[in-house]
């Protein structure tokens, strides 16, 4: 079977061997590993790090800064220039300038990105200190806590309720140990683990390995110890992790989509430029070099830096708002999220739950119901929940503390079946000191009643007849409609001293517990804020439908369409998409069903976030596009989340969505505006290369223009964003990028051609003393320098000013002002880069000083260009109802 192929051979072997054989054959010391022995094990069998999860080191970020497609193109250009201009050139005509400039650009581009990535690393490293998963390990004859990544094969690990299994373990001790392997198998059933060797070497399915605890499993109850047999990529979880990562790579998919749009444009334009330049100029090597520079010129070289800066700034802003962003790519997920799925308890309601009533079958106060419920909660070793905590608080009741403190002495625990989300009951077996032991069951009303054949009222037992359930609902429905959580309590005398699931039948219904779970004061306002941002809120809870609907109605959540877990199971595959799409409140769900709801919503085209904190939320957390947890969540859920809230409040999430959309808008500004502007420049080059006897701009000048403009764009992460731009979810993809480029790019080409005509037929002949063909070689060189400098400045000015025009749907500077950093940097940058043409550095790159008359022409061209783009922007908005 496929599952068995993921099992490491050590797991299959030692699952069938005794613990003594395991220790003997692996030569494990009784006192545990020393530090040196642990290091030897790590060298021999590997560390506890999943495959393809590279350590986030400075060296790794340095490689990533310089080893990317854009940097590779620049490096290839530098090498080709070195070959053609230095190695193949004669001694007097050798020119190092082009190669040197390209290498400087490469170093500058990589350095800027590296510095920015280091800043984002500092932010994430600082926040990640809160998130390290730690495990209890037997080392050097004592139990010590270590980060889970330091585990090695042969370590002895201790497990308790609420833990996530940190590696694949052969269990050596198990006391009422119950785990959920939902992360691996997708099933939410809770399995009991034991330590005895297995007889069959060819077991099928993970559930059959009862003495193995698999990495990623959730410990629901009891305690245990186990020897690590597989770590990192050798674990079953490591084999599954690639698929899990594929479900949560929305950012990478969007980035690849954008890259493919640019590649398609390059695939068309670069060959055209190469052929056109080669035919018109006759120099095919220069044409090839220029065509490659066109590829770089079309592509926003600073795209990784601007994107990382936007994401890092957004995550840092969230850090100041009590939110830890573990993965800065999750900021994009916040921006595109249009559905947020939340649990009810602790999110819509308060963290604390109060026990309001403990009653018999007719609603009268019953001390026996409270005592039995207290014993059940006290002896239940599964993951504790607020309801158990509220029940155990009854020992603080005035005048009753001593009685409850003596209950454990009168009723000793014998066995238990912990709560799971399939049975929806928790059962303990206690020794009562009487003739028979007592089975005490507590859980959901429907689940408990389904296991009862009798009722007891004032000591008298009667059959649980056909109308028994109707009588139960007559008592509990009104409380549930008022928003109370109601549990049922049942018991059964039995002689046995161990529990089996089949014995949870023919019980005696005793009474009910009612808890008050008030809505949070801030929840209603936060939900309204989410709805105003066009984020639909779906409630996914394990509570009864009546309780969930009562809370949701108070908070303004539409409860017209609701669905229970049982109703969900009855839907056919064709009915699932429609049924889940229209439903807003899901109740009585299992962990598997929560993940299923998210999966269907994603298949329906939604970007889905999930907020949860319990072990039952783990499958949904892994399924979500953005997994959100809280600092009080169980460790396994915290580790799986992309974002951790230090305050469990939907208002914080609303702020996070706004920050994510701001980051997205600023990324979109750079990508769309720069790509369309570059596209226009390349179209101009294609046209000029056909009609001009020289290149309108050298490859070095074209790359320099791109670099200067991109350097100015590094301030975009700090730009202001219009409120209208953040009003709805935003799509991170290249789906509409090509349309934007085709709409605005040719407009700049139109003015480029007008500038070409002015320079070639008016300005350059006037300054040089005649048309190009009548000039000497030296005069022609000056003619070309004037022409190239004129287009260089016109391109720079139009690119920078168009950034201000297209950054907003409104009228720039009047209705929407850029941030002060953006205004200052672009203004100073324009002045400095214009002044560059008057300096020796500009002359070195083939630029020259232009006469004053040109700048008068430049101002008129720029104004006309801005007016035309303003008209085109209005037309684009009207047609497509969007800009960025």
Residues acting as catalytic residues = 343
DSSP-assigned beta bridge partners for residue 643: 325, 628
Cα–Cα distance for residue pair 459/360, rounded to 1 Å: 11
Comparing C-alpha atoms, which of 654, 622, 656 is closest to residue 641? 622
Cα–Cα distance for residue pair 325/312, rounded to 1 Å: 9
Cα–Cα distance for residue pair 256/306, rounded to 1 Å: 16
Q: How many CB atoms lie under 10 A from the CB of residue 317?
A: 19
DSSP helix/strand/coil, 316: helix
DSSP percent split of the chain into helix, strand, coil, nearest 5 = 55, 15, 30
> Locate tokens 């795209």: which residue?
303
Contact 353, 481 (CB under 8 A): no
- The runs of H, that is alpha helices, within 206-352 are 236-246, 250-281, 284-298, 303-319, 330-336
Q: How many CA atoms lie within 13 A of 127 on its CB side?
A: 27
Cα–Cα distance for residue pair 173/168, rounded to 1 Å: 15
Q: How many CB atoms lie under 10 A from the CB of residue 632?
A: 13
Comparing C-alpha atoms, which of 595, 619, 589, 602 is closest to residue 184? 619
Contact 16, 195 (CB under 8 A): no
DSSP helix/strand/coil, 700: helix
DSSP helix/strand/coil, 816: strand
Cα–Cα distance for residue pair 562/15, rounded to 1 Å: 45
Instruction: Give the torsion sign (CA, 237, 240, 241, 245).
Output: negative
Distances (CA, A) of 843 to 78, 791, 847: 20, 15, 5
Distances (CA, A) of 16 to 7, 8, 175, 180, 211: 14, 14, 20, 22, 9
The DSSP annotation for 706-727 comes to HHHHHHHHTTGGG----GGGGS
Cα–Cα distance for residue pair 85/100, rounded to 1 Å: 11
**Number of DSSP helices (H) and strands (E) in the chain, helices first:** 34, 23
Residues constituting the chain: 884
Distances (CA, A) of 213 to 59, 177, 206, 417, 540: 36, 10, 9, 18, 29
Cα–Cα distance for residue pair 595/599, rounded to 1 Å: 6
Q: CB neighbours of 315 closer than 8 A, spacing ≥ 6?
A: 120, 123, 124, 325, 328, 330, 331
């Amino acid at each position: 079977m496929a599952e068995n192929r993921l099992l490491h051979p050590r797991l299959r072997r030692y699952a069938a061997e005794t613990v003594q054989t395991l220790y003997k054959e692996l030569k494990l010391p009784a006192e545990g590993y020393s530090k040196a022995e642990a290091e030897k094990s790590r060298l021999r069998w590997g560390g506890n790090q999943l495959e393809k999860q590279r350590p986030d080191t400075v060296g790794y970020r340095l490689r990533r800064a310089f080893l990317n497609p854009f940097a590779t193109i620049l490096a290839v250009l530098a090498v080709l220039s070195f070959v053609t201009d230095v190695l193949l050139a004669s001694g007097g005509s050798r020119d190092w300038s082009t190669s040197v400039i390209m290498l400087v650009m490469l170093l500058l581009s990589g350095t800027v990105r590296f510095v920015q990535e280091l800043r984002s690393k500092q932010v994430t490293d600082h926040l990640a200190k809160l998130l390290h998963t730690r495990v209890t390990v037997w080392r050097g004859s004592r139990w010590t806590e270590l980060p889970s990544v330091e585990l090695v094969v042969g370590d002895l690990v201790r497990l308790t309720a609420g833990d996530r299994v940190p590696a694949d373990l052969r269990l050596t001790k198990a006391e009422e140990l119950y785990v959920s392997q939902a992360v691996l198998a997708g099933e939410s059933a809770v399995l009991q683990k034991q330590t005895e060797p297995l007889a069959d070497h060819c077991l099928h399915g993970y559930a059959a390995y009862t003495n193995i605890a698999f990495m990623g499993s959730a410990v629901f109850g009891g305690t245990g110890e186990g020897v690590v047999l597989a770590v990192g990529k050798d674990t079953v979880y490591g084999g599954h992790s690639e698929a899990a990562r594929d479900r949560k790579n929305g950012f990478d998919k969007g980035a690849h989509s954008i890259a493919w749009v640019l590649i398609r444009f390059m695939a068309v334009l670069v060959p055209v430029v190469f052929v056109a330049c080669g035919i018109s100029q006759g120099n095919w090597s220069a044409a090839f070099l220029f065509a490659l520079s066109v590829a770089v010129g079309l592509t926003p070289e600073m795209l990784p830096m601007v994107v990382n800066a936007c994401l890092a700034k957004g995550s840092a802003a969230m850090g100041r708002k009590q939110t830890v962003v573990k993965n800065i790519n999750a900021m994009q997920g916040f921006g595109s999220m249009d559905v947020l799925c939340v649990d009810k308890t602790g999110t819509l309601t308060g963290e604390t739950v109060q026990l309001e009533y403990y009653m018999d079958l007719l609603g009268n106060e019953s001390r026996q119901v409270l005592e039995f419920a207290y014993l059940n909660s006290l002896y239940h070793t599964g993951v504790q929940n607020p309801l158990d905590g509220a029940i155990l608080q009854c020992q603080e009741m005035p005048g009753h503390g001593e009685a409850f403190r003596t209950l454990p002495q009168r009723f000793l625990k014998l066995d238990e079946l912990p709560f799971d989300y399939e049975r929806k009951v928790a059962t303990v077996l206690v020794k009562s000191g009487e003739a028979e032991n007592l089975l005490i069951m507590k859980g959901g009303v429907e689940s408990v009643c389904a296991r009862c054949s009798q009722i007891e009222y004032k000591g008298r037992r009667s059959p649980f007849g056909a109308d028994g359930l109707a009588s139960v609902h007559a008592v509990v429905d009104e409380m549930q409609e008022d928003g109370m959580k109601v549990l049922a309590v049942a018991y059964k005398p039995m002689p046995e001293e161990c529990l089996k699931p089949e014995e949870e039948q023919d019980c005696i219904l005793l009474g009910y517990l009612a808890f008050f779970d008030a809505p949070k004061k801030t929840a209603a306002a936060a939900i309204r804020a989410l709805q105003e941002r066009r984020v639909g809120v779906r409630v996914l809870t394990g509570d009864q439908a009546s309780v969930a609907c009562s809370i949701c109605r108070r908070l303004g959540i539409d409860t017209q369409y609701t669905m229970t877990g049982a109703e969900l199971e009855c839907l056919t595959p064709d009915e699932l998409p429609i049924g889940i799409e229209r439903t807003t409140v899901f109740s009585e769900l299992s962990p598997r069903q929560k993940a299923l709801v998210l999966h269907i919503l994603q298949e329906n085209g939604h970007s889905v976030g999930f907020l949860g904190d319990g072990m039952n939320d783990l499958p949904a957390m892994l399924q979500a596009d953005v997994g959100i947890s809280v600092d009080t969540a169980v460790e396994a859920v915290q580790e799986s989340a992309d974002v951790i809230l230090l305050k469990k409040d939907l208002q914080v999430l609303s702020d996070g969505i706004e920050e994510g959309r701001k980051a997205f808008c600023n990324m979109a500004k750079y990508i769309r505006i720069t790509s369309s502007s570059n596209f226009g420049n390349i179209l101009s080059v294609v046209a000029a290369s056909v009609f001009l006897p020289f290149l309108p701009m050298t490859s070095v000048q074209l790359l320099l223009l791109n670099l200067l403009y991109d350097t100015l764009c590094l301030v975009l992460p700090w730009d202001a964003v219009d409120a209208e731009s953040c009003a709805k979810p935003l799509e991170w993809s290249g789906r509409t990028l090509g349309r934007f480029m085709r709409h605005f790019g040719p407009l700049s080409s139109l003015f480029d051609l007008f500038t070409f005509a002015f320079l070639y037929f008016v300005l350059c002949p006037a300054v040089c003393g005649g048309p190009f063909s009548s000039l000497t070689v030296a005069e022609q060189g000056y003619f070309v320098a004037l022409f190239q400098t004129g287009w260089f400045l016109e391109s720079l000015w139009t690119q920078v000013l168009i950034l201000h025009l297209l950054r907003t749907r409104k009228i720039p500077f009047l209705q929407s002002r850029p941030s002060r950093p953006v205004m200052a940097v672009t203004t100073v940058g324009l002045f400095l880069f214009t002044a560059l043409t008057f300096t020796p550095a500009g002359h070195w790159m083939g630029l020259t000083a232009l006469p004053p008359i040109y700048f008068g022409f430049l101002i008129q061209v720029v104004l006309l260009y801005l007016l035309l783009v303003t008209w085109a922007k209005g037309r684009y908005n009207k047609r497509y109802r969007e800009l960025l």
